[in-house]
Chains A and B, each alone.
Chain A
């Protein structure tokens, strides 16, 4: 049976918001999937990178609740390979920022074990996981 999805104004606004925040033209994505095959983290994700792009294209806001956008560590593997020239790392950053800018953190500092970590590990984790 064919599934029909109605795309309303709310969906369009979500797409526009992510496009503005990331500076990327998300509708350019043609779902070739090279980002997914290039992603070193895909086996840890609940959505593939191409799946994230499709969700944003159709304005599915629930994608900001996915695990995948937080697993992405901005390694830019997809960025250098996208045949449409889209920087997907900017898209996942924009999706994370939609939560972080509401002052909601993704890391509980109480859970961080006391061990000697490199300063850049701590700084980058806090930059990526706190608002």
Chain B
């Protein structure tokens, strides 16, 4: 099988609380014949896109990473591949919007290149691509279906999109009002996609820091109850901040709503690892709510080597 190489931007959190996201993504990508080559000397993108019209300064960090993609191509590490693959939804949003912000007019691009005079000029050639887009547009869900070795038949999975993967409209990977990309993935793995009215409702994001955590806990409750009412066993997501809020903050939701029941929250790549028979690369040990009881109930972990 021919290996296809893409430049890859991890972002801070994939090296920290979301190690299981990166581990499972690397494992599944390799299995599908995709090599994700980590950018050398990458830096934090800033996590949130600066929304004020006069702020070029906060685009510097994001654009510096795109220059690394140019360098990888120039040095022969990549074969003319300018699709930068991102896993974290927030990084995806920031990098894609920053790219549009600085390339929309020649003056802004000139300004940022002048400012970063120690770097080669950014030429505006990089395209920011989410890993889910690679699965849909480069691989195709039919092909993914053929690769499944352990069908997830019987498992009821609800996709949680959050905000930054879909909105604003011009950068979203799918219809911001009625996305289906994760449901298509769930179905291709043999599991049953479960709709949730709250699948793109904001989880409260950074309010998880500081004194307003309850804002997050109340939204976590709403989102998880929405999935449960429709019969879901688990939730999948692609954002490490949503994952933390939906997974770790369930404890706080339970405090506010004593009738609340826990539900496991996985990264979509962990679900893929399971279906591809790569349980040892799923990294379930990193999840706060233990997904094993649900997977056992659906008879899905009989192949599991490590537990």
Task: Tell me the A residues contacting B by CB distance below 8 Å.
Answer: 20-23, 40-41, 44, 71, 73-77, 79-80, 87, 89-90, 93-94, 97, 107, 111-112, 116-125, 127-129
Contacts and interface: CB of A to CB of B under 8 A. Distances in A.
Contact of A119 (B17, B52, B210): B17
Given A80-B176, A118-B240, A124-B206, A74 B48 contact: yes
5 contacts: A74-B205, A77-B202, A119-B44, A120-B88, A127-B48
Contact of A120 (B47, B168, B177, B204): B47
Interface stretch (B8-16, B109-117, B143-151): B8-16
Contacts of A118: 13, 16-18, 240-241, 244
A94 B51 CA distance: 8
Contacts of B163: 74-77
Taking each of B17, B18, B48, B244, which has the highest tally of chain A beta carbons within 10 Å of its own beta carbon? B48
B209 A120 contact: no
Closest 4 A/B residue pairs (Cβ): A23-B53, A75-B202, A76-B167, A119-B12
B52 A124 contact: no
Taking each of A77, A94, A111, which has the highest tally of chain B beta carbons within 10 Å of its own beta carbon? A77
Given A40-B201, A87-B168, A73 B206 contact: yes
A111 B176 CA distance: 36
Nearest to A93: B51
B215 interface: yes
Contacts of B68: none
A93 B85 CA distance: 28
Contacts of B58: 127
Interface of B: 11-13, 16-18, 44, 46-48, 50-54, 58, 88, 90-91, 163, 167-169, 176-177, 200-202, 204-212, 215, 219, 240-241, 244
Contacts, number: 123
B205 A123 contact: no
A123 B204 CA distance: 15
Interface of A is mostly: helix
B92 to A, nearest CB: 12
B176 A124 contact: no
A99 to B, nearest CB: 13
A20 B53 CA distance: 7
A111 B210 contact: yes
Taking each of A23, A97, A119, which has the highest tally of chain B beta carbons within 10 Å of its own beta carbon? A119
A128 B205 CA distance: 11
A90 B51 contact: yes
A111 B213 CA distance: 12
B13 A93 contact: no
B206 A121 contact: yes
B241 A120 contact: yes
B51 A124 contact: no
A40 B219 contact: yes
Given A80-B169, A107-B210, A73 B176 contact: no
Taking each of A71, A73, A90, which has the highest tally of chain B beta carbons within 10 Å of its own beta carbon? A73
